[in-house]
Amino acid sequence: METPAAPPTHPLDDRATRLFIALAGFFCVNAVLAQFIGVKIFALEDTLGIAPREWNLFGQSGSLSFTAGTLLWPVVFVFTDVINEYFGRRGVRLISWIAVGLILYGFVFAFVAIALAPADWWMTAAQAQGVPDYQAAFAAVFGQGLWTIAGSVVAFLIGQLIDVRAFHRIRRATGERMVWLRATGSTAVSQLVDSFVVIWIAFVLGPQQWPTSLFLAVSSVNYVWKMAAAIALIPLLYVMRRAIATYLGAARAQELRTRASAA
């Protein structure tokens, strides 16, 4: 039987508090990075070194291309599930709002940086690397369209709020069993909404005004990718769960899970 730990003399002496700070910090940095690197589109087949396979979906055809941000979103999903597991709805909602604030804060200063008058020598400093105008390149990379930013932020927030509801509904039905089911099940529901909302706001409502067929095709492909990555990361969920139990102690970890499920 474990000996009860002495009450902490400082909030940061509490291991649960330190755990939440670490999880929240990693969650937020991944969410912000995903927004900023998402401007790059990469070819999946070329990256894997395989011949491109032409897909045909909703009348649209082409190779598999994704934003680089999709590399980080599955990690965000895992951390959402872990925080949900130990800190409940309140924990996920708190970090989601903090992440949205940080994303908007980051974009505000990105636009401020773009507006700063560039030094003449700096504008040509990367010509040897094939960048004739550093200012134009900087503005193109960091100056994402307002429709894209709005779509990303709204979809992220809606997805997180849906995720936390789905997670706890599945948890009430399964109890402590089938951790993988509540993790992937909540992700399946939330990302179905997220994947379509972000494209709809950014590229259908936005100035590009994509046709319905292209909207459905790109959204579907992105959703399948996110779900495949989320399923592949299920072992990470169990590794983190074991590491947290070791760090907090089995009794404290169980106490947090019980409180999270009841909140």
Closest of 193, 207, 186 to residue 156, by C-alpha: 193
**What pLDDT was estimated at residue 253?**
92
When pLDDT is averaged across residues 78-104 and rounded to a whole number, the result is 92
For residue 263, with 0-12 CB atoms within 10 Å meaning exposed, 13-18 middle and 19 or more buried, which class applies?
A: exposed
Q: How far apart are CA 166 and CA 183, in angstroms?
A: 9
**What pLDDT was estimated at residue 40?**
82
Beta bridge partners of 154: none
Does residue 138 contact residue 68 with C-beta atoms inside 8 Å? no
**What pLDDT was estimated at residue 7?**
62
Instruction: Give the predicted TM-score (pTM) of the model.
Output: 0.84
When pLDDT is averaged across residues 64-88 and rounded to a whole number, the result is 86
Tell me, what amino acid is at 241? R
What share of the chain has pLDDT > 90, as a percent?
30
197 in helix, strand or coil?
Answer: helix
pLDDT higher than threshold 70 for residue 18: yes
pLDDT higher than threshold 90 for residue 65: no
Per-domain boundaries in the chain: 24-262
pLDDT higher than threshold 60 for residue 80: yes
pLDDT higher than threshold 60 for residue 165: yes
- Average pLDDT of the chain? 85
**What pLDDT was estimated at residue 252?**
93
Q: How far apart are CA 188 and CA 135, in angstroms?
A: 40
pLDDT higher than threshold 60 for residue 2: no
Q: How far apart are CA 261 and CA 255, in angstroms?
A: 10
pLDDT higher than threshold 70 for residue 263: no
**What pLDDT was estimated at residue 27?**
94
Closest of 89, 23, 86 to residue 255, by C-alpha: 86
Beta bridge partners of 62: 55
The token pair that represents 89 in the structure block: 């709805």
Closest of 25, 88, 60, 93 to residue 199, by C-alpha: 60
